[in-house]
Structure formats: structure tokens, C-alpha cells
Amino acid sequence: MDYYWDDLNVGFIDQFGPISVDREEVLAFAERYDPQPFHLSDEAAALTHFGKLAASGWHTCSMMMGAMVRHWQATPGWQEGSLGAMGIDELRWRKPVFPEDTLHGKSELIEKIASRSRPEMGIVKFRTSLTNQHGEEVLSLVSTAMRKRRPQA
């Protein structure tokens, strides 16, 4: 299958993962980018609603992006059609993510828009979610991205 904008239909579903949540990565990310006590200390986290060390939501987003891009790069034709993203809407951290969790991702194409000013590209909107090993949704978002249109013969 080709993955030009023209080839994708609303309802298309793509899955990626698994993503293994590593304790040392949770701590390293938090230390550098989100140094809140419940991301850095078992003791501090135990005093919160998390109950134990929790990954930063921003780390969860980063893990999701890394897994998606690796999946795209392993899917012939997908990465070649990508022109980058325009933004994220409706980002929600639904449940905490903990070290030793295993996450799985799913993206569904929910909208396609032809570019009026750039006929060589189209816009796609995907609803993406991550679930943990218990089937619980831990993250959801809507992304808007640009894809190449099929070259005209």
C-alpha cells in the first residue's frame, strides 16, 4: 500500500508498540524536563494520589512519538509521505503511567483536508491513544499533520 494523502481514507487505523516503560528513563526524563517530586522519588510519590513513582505526561508523549516514528520508518512508504505536523489538540493524560508498564498505541484517521494553497500536500487528523497492559487508556490526543499528495502523471 502507498501512504500518500490520496491513499488514506477516514477510518484507517494504525497500531504501534509495545512501549516498555523503564524506571531509569522515567527518572532521567523527570530530572531533566519535569523535576516534580512524584516523578523523581518513590517516597514523595507515595504521598500523592499516584501512590508510587509515575512517569511525566511529557515523557509519555515522547515515548509515544518515538514508538510511532520507529513504526513509520519500518512501514515502507509511510515516512516518505510525511511532511511534518502542524499541532496537537485535545491532549489528555487519562491515567498515570508507571515504570514497568507496557503501552500500546492506536491511531485512527478522523479527517482529511485538501490543501487549497499547496496542491502537492494534504492535511490529515488522527485520534491517537495509548493503553497500558490492563487495556486502560493512559493518553489521548488529536494530531494534525501534512502528507504528500500522489504525484500527477
Q: Is the pTM above the cut of 0.75? A: yes
**For residues 20-48, average pLDDT:** 98
Can you read off the three cell numbers belonging to residue 99? Answer: 515504570
pLDDT tens, residue by residue, 97-148: 999 999 999 999 999 999 999 999 999 999 999 999 999 999 999 999 999 9
> In angstroms, what is the C-alpha Rg of the chain?
18
Q: What is the DSSP string of the chain?
A: ---SGGG--TT-EEEEEEEE--HHHHHHHHHHH---HHHH-HHHHHTSTT-S----HHHHHHHHHHHHHHHHHHSTTHHHHEEEEEEEEEEEE-S---TT-EEEEEEEEEEEEE-SS-TTEEEEEEEEEEE-TTS-EEEEEEEEEEEEPPPP-
Read off the pLDDT of residues 53-93 as tens digits, 9 standing for 90 and up: 999 999 999 999 999 999 999 999 898 899 999 999 999 99
Structural domains of the chain ordered from first start: 5-148 (3.10.129.10)
